[in-house]
């Protein structure tokens, strides 16, 4: 909820700032017209087109990057579920009496992973949950290796350790990808460019007697909404646009681990 309010606050700041710069640009253009009516602002088309084009491209690339990271996070959840499912099936290669303790650790590990991600947007609780999952992961690795060593030459070591290693790697990858976001400087540049575009648009509107509030509100509103959606997608565990639905594949897998 705090992140949602913060995102809305930044979007409102962008919206209000753009309206302010539109008004400031219009006043500057009006003063220029008063000093030299025949040489006042005429729209400076090529320059405005360059600024608006740059703003559009920056929004598009920033949105595209956020969506790409969002899809990567969802894909990694599916990959983790597949690796865990493979590991669970490969445990059939172990003697029956050796399977039970390792299967119990796998269940505990899946529960710990689901519990950790379910604690978002409480970041502190989620970090503690992920740390607990790493502890269970270590126990699972140790128990599996010891079991395989105890079986001697007949142990299906590659068949078990390969998917287990993939499970561990994917957990690390998911944690790292979760931390990847657009650099703050990109959003600062986006805000600055939006304010600059608003200033130029207001300056170009100085020749018009119509204040055109509808177009001003639409321009500022669409830009602010686009930036808010980008920020929300960047943090899919704490905003309105969530990646939580993808966790269902892990929930379904856990239900099969009888």
User: Confidence band (pLDDT; 50, 70, 90) for 245?
Assistant: confident
pLDDT value for 44? 61
Q: What is the pLDDT of residues 181-226, one digit of tens each?
A: 989 999 999 999 999 999 988 888 777 776 678 888 999 999 999 9
Domain holding 87, by residue range, is: 2-256
- Tell me if the pTM is above 0.95: no
Q: Looking at the 3D structure of the chain, how many domains does it have?
A: 1
Contact 25, 31 (CB under 8 A): no
Contact 26, 203 (CB under 8 A): yes
Residue 131: CB atoms within 10 Å: 11
Residue 195: CB atoms within 10 Å: 18
Residue 57: CB atoms within 10 Å: 11
Rg for the chain (alpha carbons), in Å? 27
The CA distance from 35 to 22, in Å, is: 20
Q: Is the per-residue pLDDT at 17 higher than 80?
A: yes
Q: What is the pLDDT of residues 26-57, one digit of tens each?
A: 888 888 777 766 655 554 667 778 888 999 99
Q: What is the pLDDT of residues 58-95, one digit of tens each?
A: 999 999 999 999 999 999 999 999 999 999 999 999 99
The CA distance from 26 to 198, in Å, is: 10
Local structure of 239: helix, strand or coil: coil
The CA distance from 225 to 240, in Å, is: 13
Contact 119, 125 (CB under 8 A): yes
pLDDT value for 45? 67
The CA distance from 93 to 155, in Å, is: 9
């Amino acid at each position: 909820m705090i992140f949602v309010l913060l995102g809305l606050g930044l979007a409102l700041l962008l919206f209000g700032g753009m309206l302010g710069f539109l008004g400031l640009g219009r006043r500057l253009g009006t003063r220029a017209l008063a000093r030299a009516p025949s040489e006042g602002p005429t729209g400076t088309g090529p320059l405005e087109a360059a600024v608006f084009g740059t703003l559009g491209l920056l929004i598009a690339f920033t949105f595209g990057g956020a969506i790409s990271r969002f899809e990567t996070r969802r894909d990694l959840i599916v990959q983790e579920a597949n690796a865990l499912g493979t590991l669970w099936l490969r445990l059939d290669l172990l003697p029956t009496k050796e399977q039970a303790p390792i299967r119990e650790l796998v269940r505990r590990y899946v529960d710990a992973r689901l519990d950790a991600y379910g604690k978002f947007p409480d970041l502190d609780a989620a970090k503690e949950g992920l740390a607990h999952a790493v502890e269970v992961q270590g126990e699972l690795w140790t128990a599996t290796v010891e079991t395989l060593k105890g079986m001697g030459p007949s142990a299906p070591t590659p068949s078990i350790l390969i998917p287990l290693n993939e499970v561990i790697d994917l957990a690390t990858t998911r944690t790292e990808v979760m931390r990847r976001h657009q650099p703050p400087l990109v959003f600062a540049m986006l805000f600055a460019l939006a304010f600059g575009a608003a200033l130029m648009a207001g300056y170009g509107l100085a020749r018009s007697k119509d204040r055109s509030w509808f177009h001003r509100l639409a321009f500022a509103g669409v830009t602010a909404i686009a930036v808010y959606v980008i920020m929300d997608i960047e943090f899919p565990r704490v905003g309105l646009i969530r990646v939580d639905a993808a966790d269902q594949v892990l929930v379904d897998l856990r239900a099969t681990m009888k």
